[in-house]
Amino acid sequence: GNSVTQMEGPVTLSEEAFLTINCTYTATGYPSLFWYVQYPGEGLQLLLKATKADDKGSNKGFEATYRKETTSFHLEKGSVQVSDSAVYFCALSDRGLGAGGTSYGKLTFGQGTILTVHP
Amino acid sequence: NAGVTQTPKFRVLKTGQSMTLLCAQDMNHEYMYWYRQDPGMGLRLIHYSVGEGTTAKGEVPDGYNVSRLKKQNFLLGLESAAPSQTSVYFCASTRGGTGYNEQFFGPGTRLTVL
């Protein structure tokens, strides 16, 4: 089955530090990969996505590259801000399952990484 | 647009009580999902629906039932609550069809079962 593994948290950084959150996956098909962010007291929001090998997703200064050879999708940001403090989830959506070749958009999530950024 | 809304936001139940969580979306999305979020375990899919009148089991369906009588609403029911169902519940929706459509999440319902 599908699975996603993220680096253990929590991660604590000072403002303007470099961020990396590791994510690796196991999938039976050829998945799409996502990073979602959850700010305190809120639901999840899509941060970025990549749908094929070597694609780079980017948004709000965050980047992640789909690495099929290492089954990874690590999240990076060059200079974090206090407002980036949140929980980050790596996720995958497999395709080619279910009737008509669709996976019905089901997501498999990693366990989440808590990021705290101090001024 | 309100997006995805969930009611209630908080609830405390005693073991054996029942309740229904309501999810509503105003984006005309075909697919809807119920997840539960537990510490250190990410989000796990309980049930999902790919259209009005359809439902299917996800990863952790036991102890829950769902209904999708209207396209915009997806209800999650607990017939006899257990302490193991203490969790934060999220509803999500997406346009559906082929492709890689973003899932939109509600703000969550925090449920405590005593």
Three-state SS string over chain B comes to CCCEEEECCEEEECCCCCEEEEEEECCCCCEEEEEEECCCCCEEEEEEECCCCCCEECCCCCCCEEECCCCCEEEEEECCCCHHHCEEEEEEEECCCCCCCCCEECCCEEEEEC
Give the distance from residue A111's alpha carbon to the nearest chain B alpha carbon, in angstroms.
Answer: 4
Residue B55 has a pLDDT of: 95
Cβ B68 vs Cβ B77: under 8 Å: no
What are B57-61's contacts with CB under 8 Å, separation 24+?
B58/A106, B58/B33, B58/B34, B60/B36
Which residues of chain A neighbour B40 with C-beta distances below 8 Å? 111-112
**Rounded Cα distance, B63 and B66, in Å:** 11
Work out the mean pLDDT of chain A and round it to a whole number: 90
Instruction: Report how many Cβ contacts below 8 Å link chain A to chain B.
Output: 59
Q: What is the mean pLDDT of residues A20-33?
A: 90
Pairing of strands A86-93, A75-77: unpaired
d(CA B113, nearest CA chain A) in Å:
20
> Tens digit of pLDDT per residue, chain B (114 long)?
789 999 999 999 999 999 999 999 999 999 999 999 998 888 999 999 999 999 999 999 999 999 999 999 999 999 999 999 999 999 999 987 666 678 899 999 999 999
Mean of pLDDT values over A72-95: 94
Q: In this complex, do B103 and A105 lie within 8 Å of one another by their Cβ atoms?
A: yes
Contact at CB, A105 and B101, closer than 8 angstroms:
yes
C-alpha A25/C-alpha A90 separation (Å) is 9
Please tell me which of the candidates B44, B92, B98 has its beta carbon nearest to residue A102: B98
Average pLDDT over residues A87-102: 71
Which DSSP category does A96 fall into?
Answer: S
Residue whose C-alpha is closest to residue A90's, from A59, A117, A54, A50: A50
B chain contacts of residue A111, beta-carbon cutoff 8 Å: 40-42
* Pairwise pLDDT comparison (A111 vs A103), residue with the higher score: A111
pLDDT value for A76: 98
Which pLDDT score, from 0 to 100, does residue A118 have? Answer: 96
Smallest Cα–Cα separation from B51: which of A30, A107, A3, A98? A98
Q: What is the pLDDT of residue A102?
A: 55
Rounded to a whole number of angstroms, the CA Rg of chain A reads 14
More confident residue, A89 or B96: A89
Per-residue pLDDT at A100? 47
Cα-based torsion angle of the residue sequence B65, B47, B31, B25 in order, rounded to the nearest 10 degrees:
60
For residue A79, the distance in angstroms to the closest alpha carbon of chain B comes to: 26
* Residue A69 pLDDT exceeds 50: yes
- Is the CB of A43 less than 8 angstroms away from the CB of B42? no
Q: How confident is the model at residue B14, as a pLDDT?
A: 97
- Given a cut of 80, whether residue A94 has pLDDT beyond it is no
The residue-averaged pLDDT of A2-29 equals 93
With CB atoms and an 8 Å threshold, state whether A43 touches B90. yes
